[in-house]
Chains A and B, each alone.
Chain A
Amino acid sequence: MSERKLTTEQIDELFEFCRKHYVSRYDLQIELVDHLASSIEVQWKSNQDLPFSFILDNEFKKFGVYGFSKIKNQKVKELRRKYRKLLWKHTLEFYRWPKALLTLALTIILYMLFQMVDNDFWIIIPYYLIVSGFMFHYYYALFPKKYKIKTSTDQPFMLLDYLKGKQIHSLLIIQVPLHFVNVMKYIDYSFLNNQLFSIIISFFIIGFTFFHYVSLYVLPLKVKEHFTQQFPQFIIS
């Protein structure tokens, strides 16, 4: 007697089962569907007459009281941890040889500018305008052309959630210097005239800039690389 295998309709039912149990991301659904399907087919080897839904319910119980949520939450956590580590790794490269030279040069230039101008808004406002300009360009032109991945399915992937987050992140960055300027209105910022604080602020601004450069320009390329490696069959462009 030939082995009983799941039909395409039953595979679709398993995907729907995952969606009903709050797994909406296709990359995780693939793994869970295959697991459930494999275990059902193994059980059919000993008894082909066992109903599909009966075995499915029993197999789902093996995932425990939390069902798929522990697996889903852990995967999200691991992805975030992975990319956070990459983010810090690439940012810290700007504080190691040879990029540390660039960091030092930019910090010194910014510090000297703070010392030269009477009103520090002449530095902060242009910085804000330049950053905003880059972010609008990133959001509307660069991201859709260079970082966005078009897939052959409209199913959402967990890996691509991270990329989408970066696009929105670019618009949030514009607001940071704005809030900084608002705060400056209410505090006595004469401390900027203090050399030590000028150095600290210059160091912070340069660090902030590199951090977001890595977050928006370097990391999305890594994510795209990982997605291409794992799911080449889904990529259109």
Chain B
Amino acid sequence: MGNNQLYKGSLSTIILKLLGEKGRMYGYQITQEVKAISEGEFLITEGALYPMLHKLEAKGLLTVEIEMTGNRMRKYYSITKNGKKEVANLMTEMESYIRNMQVLLNPNIDLA
């Protein structure tokens, strides 16, 4: 398993990007989807996921719907318009970060 510390700071980006691409999802589904996409490399802990979802919801980047599914209620998260703008900004920052890290760690690389 990779270094979780490297992924921790990107949790909001990962969640917003996933919801932007997949549409609405519920909490457990998000953990499973990230696990599947990263082939088990990144596991989102429940203690990290729900506080982040609530934070993004409070900021207006996600919206929620509660629906009955089987014999219980389920809370679905969807990305808002502001959330889509935010993820575009975060992706730009992330790309810039990766580029700069590559230069710092391997100055011989020509990124032109």
A residues adjacent to B (C-beta < 8 A): 5-8, 11, 30-35, 37-39, 42, 62-64, 66, 70-71, 74-75, 78-79, 81-82, 230-231, 233
8 contacts between A and B (CB under 8 A): A11-B71, A31-B75, A34-B27, A37-B72, A70-B51, A71-B46, A78-B58, A81-B58
Q: What residues of chain B lie closer than 8 Å to A34, measured between beta carbons?
A: 26-28, 69, 72-75
Flag B36-49 by CB within 8 Å of A: 1 or 0 each. Answer: 00000000011100
Evaluate contact between A63 and B66: CB separation under 8 angstroms.
no
The number of residues on chain B lying at the interface, defined by a beta carbon within 8 Å of a beta carbon of chain A, is 26
Interface residues of B in 63-96 (CB under 8 A from A): 64-66, 68-75
Q: Which residues of A contact B66 (CB under 8 A)?
A: 30, 230-231, 233
Assess the A33–B45 pair: CB atoms within 8 A.
no
- Provide the residues of chain A in CB contact with B69, threshold 8 Å: 34
Assess whether B54 is interfacial by the CB under 8 Å rule: yes
State A7–B72 Cα separation when bound (angstroms): 10
Identity of the chain B residue whose Cβ is nearest the Cβ of A33 in the assembled complex: B72
Taking a contact as CB atoms under 8 Å apart, the answer to whether A31 and B50 are in contact is: yes
A38 to B46, alpha carbons, bound, how many Å?
13
B27 and chain A: residue at smallest CB distance:
A35
Which residue of chain A has the shortest Cβ distance to B47 in the bound complex?
Answer: A64
Which of B27, B32, B59, B70 contacts A31 (CB under 8 A)? B27
Q: What residues of chain A lie closer than 8 Å to B47, measured between beta carbons?
A: 63-64, 66, 70-71
20 new A-B contacts, CB < 8 A, other than A32-B50, A230-B65, are: A5-B70, A11-B71, A11-B72, A30-B66, A30-B74, A31-B27, A33-B72, A34-B28, A35-B28, A62-B45, A62-B46, A63-B46, A63-B47, A70-B47, A70-B51, A74-B51, A74-B54, A78-B51, A230-B66, A231-B66
